[in-house]
């Protein structure tokens, strides 16, 4: 699934994602001959309510944003633009705060929900399987091929007032894993879930976000992003394929982001806005068919950087491709640096 170049809607549209905007962006990729193979429709596509649209009202797409339904949009994406796989976002709790009490979704699923500490309703332990099985059945019927499961690590605080809350949390993980295995062959991007309970109770899914978000408008955001990804990978790569997150191809750090993803060993996908995709830093990452030139495992710090704080200094990371070694060197300072590689 992830051996092709991808695009995510999040930093392109945030919660203003819509069929119209998605198709405009795919038209741009087509015109520029940028070979996108898969798309992640991120937060904002579903029926949401509440402050900042953080409460789920239904399994279906928001009809005002997707007038032809989710399936109609995905059909056009695949048939007209050659997108091979389409995924959608959801939070581990349905949405950030959970399910709206009294909604049609609540009435249909209330036997599978539990009241959270902040007064919303979220999938409950083993019962979560029926919740996600129902949702994934719908998504599969719409042509969805995989899901991104976000906000995993913040779930325990929502059930800390419940009996056996740790077991409920673990059972919830195992439930969604079973549902994803059934419907999507375990093709999942696990996201924001780095606690031990998250890491050790994913028996089927094998890809996990390796850092906090890519923040395109955050000053010095790249330095934080590379530090998190490279040092987290020392442990995480023993358990998962590491996802270094999306990036922008016209960003001030576009070149650095491209090189980091090239050596990362994980999926490579961008989140460019309409009109803002540049082939310059995409073309070196793929072959002529749009398949990624990918390293074998997750990139690691070189030995001399492993126990050193490389912020504001030189960061060296390495990976392999078959019998060959690959090294990338990043200057995280504002000064010229001399460096040797042995």
User: Of 52, 49, 45, which is closest to residue 10 (Cα–Cα)?
Assistant: 45
| Three-state DSSP state, 180 | helix
Q: Which region, left, alpha or beta, applies to residue 292 given φ > 0 means left and ψ of -120 to 50 means alpha?
A: beta
Which backbone phi and psi does 278 adopt, to 5 degrees? -120, 130
Query: CA–CA separation, 118 vs 155, rounded Å?
Result: 11
Query: CA–CA separation, 216 vs 196, rounded Å?
Result: 29
In tens digits, the chain (342 residues) has pLDDT values of 689 999 999 999 999 999 999 999 999 999 999 999 999 999 999 999 999 999 999 999 999 999 999 999 999 999 999 999 999 999 999 999 999 999 999 999 999 999 999 899 999 999 999 999 999 999 999 999 999 999 999 898 999 888 888 999 999 999 999 999 999 999 999 999 998 889 999 999 999 999 999 999 998 899 999 999 999 999 999 999 999 999 999 999 999 999 999 999 999 999 999 999 999 999 999 987 889 999 999 999 999 999 999 999 999 999 999 999 999 999 999 999 999 887
Strands laid side by side in the 5-8 sheet: 241-243, 207-209, 188-190, 146-150, 85-91, 36-41, 5-8, 269-270
């Amino acid at each position: 699934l992830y051996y092709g170049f991808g695009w995510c809607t999040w930093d392109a549209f945030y919660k203003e994602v819509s069929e119209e905007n998605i198709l405009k962006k795919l038209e741009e990729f087509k015109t520029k001959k940028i070979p996108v193979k898969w798309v992640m429709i991120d937060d904002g596509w579903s029926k949401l309510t509440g402050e900042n649209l953080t409460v789920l009202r239904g399994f279906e797409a928001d009809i005002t944003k997707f007038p032809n339904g989710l399936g109609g949009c995905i059909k056009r994406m695949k048939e007209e633009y050659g997108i091979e796989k389409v995924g959608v976002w959801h939070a581990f709790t349905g949405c950030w705060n959970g399910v709206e009490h009294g909604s049609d979704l609540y009435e249909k699923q209330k036997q599978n929900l539990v009241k959270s500490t902040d007064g919303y309703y979220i999938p409950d332990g083993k019962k979560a399987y029926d919740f996600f099985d129902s949702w994934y059945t719908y998504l599969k019927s719409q042509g969805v091929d995989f899901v991104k499961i976000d906000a995993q690590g913040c779930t325990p605080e929502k059930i800390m007032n419940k009996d056996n809350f740790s077991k409920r949390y673990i059972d919830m993980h195992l439930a969604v894993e079973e549902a994803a295995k059934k419907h999507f062959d375990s093709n999942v991007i696990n996201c924001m879930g780095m606690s031990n309970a998250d890491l050790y109770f994913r028996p089927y899914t094998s890809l996990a976000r390796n850092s906090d978000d890519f923040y395109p408008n955050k000053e010095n955001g790249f330095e934080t992003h590379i530090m998190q990804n490279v040092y987290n990978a020392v442990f995480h790569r023993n358990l998962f394929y590491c996802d270094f997150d999306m990036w922008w191809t016209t960003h001030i750090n576009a070149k650095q982001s491209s090189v980091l993803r090239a050596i990362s060993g994980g999926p490579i996908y961008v989140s460019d806005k309409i009109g803002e995709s540049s082939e310059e830093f995409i073309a070196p990452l793929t072959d002529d068919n749009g398949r990624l030139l990918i390293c074998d495992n997750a990139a690691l710090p070189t030995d001399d950087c492993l126990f050193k704080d490389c912020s504001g200094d030189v960061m060296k990371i390495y990976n392999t491709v078959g019998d060959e070694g690959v090294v990338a060197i990043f200057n995280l300072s504002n000064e010229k640096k001399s460096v040797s590689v042995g």
